[in-house]
Amino acid sequence: MPRRLSVALVRSLVHAQSNDVCIAVDVLRATTTLAVLFGQGCRGVWLAPDVDSALRIGRDSGRLICGEAGGLPPPGFDHGNSPVEFSRLDLTAREVVFATSNGTGTLRACAAGRHAYAGAFVNLTATVQAALRSLDALGDAAGRLLIACAGTHDRFST
């Protein structure tokens, strides 16, 4: 079956359609951190649209509040956005509210698709295999495979 592939080099170019399979990529931090969170036993991650929402949702729910703004953990956050930091924590059965400058917004934009995956170097093979299985399962109803790059403040990152 022929497949279509689209690449959005920055978040503002991400226009996921209902039958698309999306892979969001922010490898230096957000998507690598997400892979590590789940690897450390995290039960679920809530992607907040911004810092204020993350604080409100986290306080109201008792979830850990994690992420960054401008590269640093905002005041009131439990943890930043460092995969190394999370690799040292036991997050078994914990839930996290996560907000970052670039990656979480790209993931949220991908949520309009049928399936959205967080792609990083640490989960590259598993992510590509899962995305291709999703496309196969959709059959003729499948849209395209959309690779969505987070960029940096809506500028292409090199």
The alpha carbon torsion through 73, 75, 117, 143 (nearest 10 deg) reads -120
Count of domains observed in the chain? 2
Containing domain of residue 126, as a range?
1-26+102-158
**Are residues 41 and 53 part of one domain?**
yes
Tens digits of per-residue pLDDT, 2-46?
Answer: 479 999 999 999 999 999 999 999 978 999 999 999 999 999 999
Tens digits of per-residue pLDDT, 37-64?
Answer: 999 999 999 999 999 999 999 999 999 9
Give the mean pLDDT of 99-104: 95
Cβ 10 vs Cβ 109: under 8 Å? no
Residue among 149, 58, 64, 136 nearest 102 (CA): 149
**Are residues 58 and 17 part of one domain?**
no
Cβ 37 vs Cβ 45: under 8 Å? yes
Tens digits of per-residue pLDDT, 115-132?
Answer: 999 999 999 999 999 999
**Are residues 143 and 83 part of one domain?**
no
**For residue 71, what are the CA distances in angstroms to 82, 97, 108, 122?**
10, 17, 19, 21
Q: Which of 78, 100, 122 is the last residue of a domain?
A: 100
